[in-house]
Structure 1
Amino acid sequence: MSEKPQKVAIIGTGMAGLITSYILRTDPRFDVEVFEKQAQLSLDSASLTVSSGPDNDQKQHRIDLPMRVFADGFYANLKRMYDFFGVQYASPRFIYTMSRISDPGSTEIHPHFIHSSNNHQLPPLRPKGCSWIEWLMRVVYLAVCYYYFVACCFFVAPRTTSDTGLSESFRDYAKRIHIPGHYIKNYFLPLMSCVTTCSHNQLLDFPAIDVIGYQTKTFRKPHYTVLGGVNKVQAKLSKGQKVRYSAAVTAVENVGSKVKVTWKDGSREEVKSLFFDHVVLAVTPDVLRAIFPPLRKILAAVPTTPVHSIVHRDFARLPACSQVISARLHADNDRSSTHPIHIISNASTTESTHQHPSSVLISTSPIVPIDSEKVISSTTFTRVLRTPTSRQVTLDIFESKPTGPDGDSKQWQNGDGNVWLVGGWCWDGMVMLEGCIASAIRVAEKLNIEVPWAS
């Protein structure tokens, strides 16, 4: 007589939750059920389809929110999974216009530099109003600063702070290698803030090892986007999955050898509970603190911040940025392959506005006012931040060895009581989609499940 499958609850249907669910469902030992607080799966819930024109018969475009760009080198597991599923992706030619607002009340935006991804445009485009001599000096200065910084990333390792035992912050690392402040302030921070979707100070507080790891692994590597949107990935991962929609989980607790999950059924306004053999929590630290008491105090050291993203057609706010690359777009035989991204910074933060081929703009962390009448949709998602302290918390949860007198850890660790954590923040690295897959694979390995695309 075969054993009864172990019941597994997965809380959350982002990338980490869906990947973990897919892997576990390949093993007949597990019966998996997913809980989602929304009425739809969350991985693609903020994305939308727009037409390239006002008529319904125009070409339809899928816009991912947030933007899902991945690179060779850093996203090894993600790329391997996409190849396993046959997900198609392409490498768009990104053109970044970089502007800076010095006066807090100003809305005048004039690019001071234009960068092309993978240097597909050589020499770089010259901003309007910039003389040839000034432009040439700027290009040489940036080339020297950039390659000096890259050399440091490869050959100057981050330190451990002597007084705290924590890893060195990127702020301290940048000072130690004497990288020019002008380069960091006006070029590196704006570009990297678009990747990390956080303020400049928050990025400077990242562990240096995170930033250096990302830089070295993506150096001279192409960037990709999924053709047709991440909804294609969601469809493959969730096929055949049992999902409880409108189920907002309010508590996860160990009761004997089982794990009790309590949720509010949004469709009936009822509070319900079920017992499971394993529970996988694929949610952000702020949600974890609210529903799982053992981590309430520990995860207080892992900061999060809201990030706003708006889809709109307010092109009037970016006249200089649009004009400076209009000739480049018209000269391109396939305009859909060129993606301008306007990077606008002030003293503390950066806005990135993606000029999509569908003739809409996607502004993330906007700092320039947007005409409300031209807004198509808006969403807010949670960004998990990294600091030397939060990195140590993550290491203690996922990688520390038992330290107690009897060989037991004094702190809760991943898998204790058959409760598991997965997500972009659940590994030692930049909080990206790669962390979702790496953490899901870790759970699979602990449960002795073979990952389908591992070979």
Structure 2
Amino acid sequence: MTATHSCSDAASRAGSASVKPSLAVIGSGIAGLSAAWLLKQKYDVTLIESHDKVGMGVFSVDYQSAGVDNRIDIPLRVFCDGYYPNLLALYRHIGVEIEAGDHAGVFFDHRGKEVLHYGNVALGRYRFSLPKLKSLFSWRAWRLMLAFRRFNRLAQQALLTDEQLRQKTLQQFLQQQQIDGEFTEQLLLPVLAVTCTCDYHSILNYPADVILAYLTCGVWQFGIIHARNGVDDIVPRLTQGIQVQTGQTVQSVRSCGEQLQLTLADGQQQRFDQVVIACQAQQAAAMLDGFDQQQAWLRQVPFETSTMMVHTDSGFLPQQGKGCSAVSYCLPPQGRQRPQVSVDLTKAIPRYRQQGTVFQTWHPTFEPGAGQLLAKVAFTRPLVTLESRAAMQQLRQQQQQQCDNRLWFCGSYLADKVPLLDAAVDSSVAVAEALGVEIPWQAAGH
């Protein structure tokens, strides 16, 4: 059913449906979910999602093996204590169980020869990465590890003392510090290409301080953690008490008197007192009608698309998986910009350990064997450049300083960090604070 309303009756409808003013959140990734959950304290929130399911779980698949049924989150969502304070505070506040995973990794060159293999040693809440037996006797592996230690030390010093660091790209930092080229090509760029799901040249164009802050946050000491029961546990907690509209694509957002009007793909129009756009920057820019400055800022955010597959084909690993680890990096030949990286879920995540081996592979270079593909998905990830950071700083300032705002933006691209889960929650916290909403875990002193 299509509903069309004129601007003239906006005032009469405002606040008539409930005591609270109305607010729409467009997009239901973690940015939209956390924004909706925070803002429901003060607003009557409607969450609008273009897919048929709420966004965080839209690509999840069932996996039945060895008599055990499980759901596999796509993509795998892992994080660490050092870089995800708001995400972890949110999850703990709503009762999401957190557990540790295995982040041990092995790097192979493009011929399948092992370059470096490290494992994890736990000591209380700390986990240390140490070389595996074969790497203990490899001068190449030790050279890479020593280069990593030097890089880490220089990164920490630069973050504390280099006043010009925010104006430098990662490539400029690497050149100025004369960072070992073999370490950069065989360890640093492959890790970051998976973390940021983009090409090597995009990583090198990141602001240096953004990358260095991530790499020195403690991920190597604390290891990775994840939500024990996945997104199927998270989404119901964050959507409780919120109206959810799925299968609805917003075509445009424009001012309509005292409110904002959303026009959906089916022609339906809905109006709200406040609107939070929590989808990707390029999608947000495309739906704006009459917000030229915000649109110009959003178009400064570049993005890249990456492919990920869930499958059971061990042929993606060198030597059919012998000597492989929870995470296996297959480095590209000269001239290619991305490694193929396979995560063995049965090694990395405890809930899959009783099942047959299943992988998530980023940047796959071939197709799995017949009957071994469970899912293949393309993801779009925002990038950070010196130019996009300057544009997002202006957008954040505009949201914070103008008291008559009705249109808000949140998403991982808006925080001055690597665009990961915590950056998305950071941006929703900023919107909630600007709208006068108390952040529960801050009030509790967490």
TM-score, with structure 1 as normaliser: 0.83
Quick one: structure 1 residues 114 and 424, their matched pair in 2 at CA, closer, same or farther if it must change by over 3 Å? Answer: same
Q: Which residue of 2 aligns with 1:258?
A: 259
- Corresponding position of 1:104: none
The 2-side partners of 1:281 and 1:16 are apart by 9
Contact map agreement 1:97 1:111 (CA 8 A) in 2: yes
- Provide closer, same or farther for how the CA distance between residues 400 and 125 of structure 1 changes in structure 2, counting only shifts above 3 A: same
Q: How does 1:258-337 map to 2 (within 5 A)?
A: 258-264=259-265, 270-293=266-289, 294=292, 295-320=294-319, 322-325=321-324
Partner SS for 2:322: helix
**Alignment partner, residue 34 of structure 1:** 47
Taking only the aligned residue pairs, the percentage that are identical comes to 22
**Superposition deviation, residue 320 in structure 1:** 2.1
In structure 2, the CA distance between the partners of 1:177 and 1:401, relative to structure 1 (3 Å rule), is farther
* Structure 1 match to 2:369: 371
One-letter amino acid of the structure 1 residue matched with residue 140 of structure 2: R
Map of 1:330 onto structure 2: none
Structure 1 counterpart of 2:55, which letter? S
Offset at residue 122 of structure 1 (A):
7.4
Report how far residue 368 of structure 1 moved.
4.3
Instruction: Report the 3-state secondary structure (helix = DSSP H, G, I; strand = E; otherwise coil) of the residue aligned with 1:70.
Output: coil
Give the equivalent residue in structure 1 for 2:10.
none
Q: Deviations over 1:179-210 (max 9, x none)?
A: 11111011111112221111111111111011
2:9 matched to which residue of 1? none
Q: Give the direction of change, closer, same or farther, for the CA distance of 1:296–1:445 in structure 2 (3 Å limit).
A: closer
Task: State how far apart, in whole Å, the 2-side matches of 1:12 and 1:239 are.
Answer: 16
**Is 2:148 the counterpart of 1:146?**
yes
TM-score (norm 2): 0.85
- Partners of 1:416 and 1:354 lie apart in 2 by 47
- Asked if the contact 2:412–2:424 (Cα under 8 Å) also holds between the matched residues in 1, the reply is yes
Q: CA deviation at 1:306?
A: 1.3
Q: Is the 8 A contact 2:317 2:342 kept in 1?
A: no
**What residue is the counterpart of 1:427 in the other structure?**
415
- 1:143 is displaced (CA, Å) by 2.8
8 A Cα contact 1:398 1:414, kept in partner: no
CA distance in 2 between partners of 1:151 and 1:379 (Å): 38
- The answer to whether residue 320 in structure 2 is matched with residue 340 in structure 1 is no
- Can you list the C-alpha shifts for 1:154-183, whole angstroms capped at 9, x where unaligned? 11245648xxxx721101111111111111
Residue 76 of structure 1 aligns with which residue?
85
- Contiguous gaps of at least 5 residues in structure 2: 1-14, 347-354
CA distance in 2, matches of 1:237, 1:66: 19
Q: Which residue identity does 1:313 align to in structure 2?
A: T
Count, aligned residues: 406
Tell me the residue number matched to 1:12.
27
80 and 118 in structure 1: CA distance in 2 versus 1, 3 angstrom threshold: farther
Alignment map for 1:226-265 (pairs within 5 Å): 226-264=227-265
Q: 1:47 to 1:144 in 2, by over 3 A?
A: same
- Describe the shift of the 1:262–1:401 C-alpha distance in structure 2 as closer, same or farther (beyond 3 A): closer
Contact 1:254–1:417 at 8 Å: present in 2 too? Answer: no
> Is 1:446 aligned to 2:445, yes or no?
no
Structure 1 unaligned spans of 5+: 102-107, 265-269, 326-338, 403-412
Structure-1 residue corresponding to 2:119: 116
Output one character per residue of 1:83-130: Cα deviation in whole Å (capped at 9) or x when no partner: 1122112111222121222xxxxxx53322112246868752245xx8
Q: Alpha carbon RMSD of aligned pairs, Å?
A: 2.5
Letter in 1 for 2:156: F
Q: Deviations over 1:198-234 (max 9, x none)?
A: 1111111111011011122225223201112122111
Quote the offset at 1:32 in angstroms: 0.9
How far the C-alpha of 1:255 sits from its partner, in A, is 2.4
Structure 2 match to 1:407: none
**Could you list the per-position Cα deviations for residues 401-428 of structure 1 after superposition, in whole angstroms to 9, with x for gaps in the alignment?**
99xxxxxxxxxx8886410011111111
DSSP 3-state at the match of 1:51: strand
Tell me the CA shift for residue 342 of structure 1. 1.1
Corresponding residue number in structure 2 for 1:334 = none
Aligned to 1:125: 132
User: What SS does structure 1 have at the residue aligned with 2:106?
Assistant: strand
What aligned pairs does 1:75-224 form with structure 2 within 5 A after superposition? Answer: 75-101=84-110, 108-117=111-120, 124-127=131-134, 133=137, 135=138, 137-157=139-159, 160=164, 167-219=167-219, 220-224=221-225
Native 8 Å contact 1:343 1:352 kept in 2: yes
Change in Cα spacing, 1:262 to 1:122, as seen in structure 2 (3 Å) is closer
User: 1:256 offset after TM fit, Å?
Assistant: 2.8
Q: Which residue of 1 aligns with 2:12?
A: none
**Structure 1 residues 364 and 371, CA, compared in 2 at 3 Å: closer, same or farther?**
same
- Counterpart amino acid of residue 204 in structure 1: L
Distance 1:118 1:160, change over 3 A: farther
The structure-2 alpha-carbon separation of the partners of 1:98 and 1:15, relative to structure 1 and needing over 3 Å to count, comes to same
Determine the C-alpha separation between the residues in 2 that align with 1:400 and 1:443: 12
Aligned CA distance change for structure 1 residues 416 and 179 (closer, same or farther; 3 Å): farther
- Residue 408 of structure 2 aligns to a residue whose secondary structure is strand
Counterpart of 1:389 in structure 2 is 387
- Say which SS state the counterpart of residue 425 (structure 1) adopts: helix
CA deviation vs aligned residue, 1:138-167 (integer Å, no higher than 9, x gap) = 343123211111111111245648xxxx72
- 1: CA distance between counterparts of 2:403 and 2:227? 33
Q: Distance in 2 between matches of 1:13 and 1:438?
A: 15
Equivalent position SS for 1:179: coil
Alpha-carbon distance in structure 2 between the residues aligned to 1:262 and 1:19: 24
Distance 2:269 2:128 in 1: 58
* C-alpha separation in 1, matches of 2:168 and 2:229: 40
Aligned to 1:49: 62
Kindly indicate whether the alpha-carbon contact (under 8 Å) linking 1:210 and 1:429 is maintained by their aligned counterparts in 2: yes
